[in-house]
Amino acid sequence: MIDKDAIGEIIRTYQKHGWILRRVLLSPELKQKLAGNTSALFGAADIADAEIDAAWFSRPPKSGGVAWEIRYLGELPFGLLENVDENDAEFEDKLKNIESRLRQTVTAKQSA
């Protein structure tokens, strides 16, 4: 299981390239492991309970929609990138769909 130092390094790398940490998904296991460190580690990002550990980053658009990337927080470095319109009525549904794709992909890779 990933530790707070590795998560911090992931966040710093994204920030170095202009990404903003927006949301964090934490499993009960990782949430317990990070107890007391979440606000220092994740700042003002929203934290939600989840089946998978991941972080949502966004970056201002160069053209088109805002770039959102969900990065798996685990041993396997993996992420999915989408350009989405944050004003779209289906914005939250689109993010949930991307989260589901990440979960399915990570699960498939772990069982391979």
**What does each of the 112 residues of the chain score in pLDDT, given as a tens digit?**
899 999 999 999 999 999 999 999 999 999 999 988 899 999 999 999 999 999 999 998 777 778 999 999 988 889 999 998 889 999 999 999 999 999 999 988 878 6
Beta-strand ranges (E) seen in the chain are 20-26, 46-49, 54-59, 66-72, 79-84
pLDDT at 85: 87
DSSP 77: -
Domain encompassing residue 64: 4-111
Question: How far, in Å, CA of 33 to CA of 47, rounded?
Answer: 15
- pTM greater than 0.75: yes
Number of independent structural domains in the chain = 1
- For 23, the token pair is 């949301």
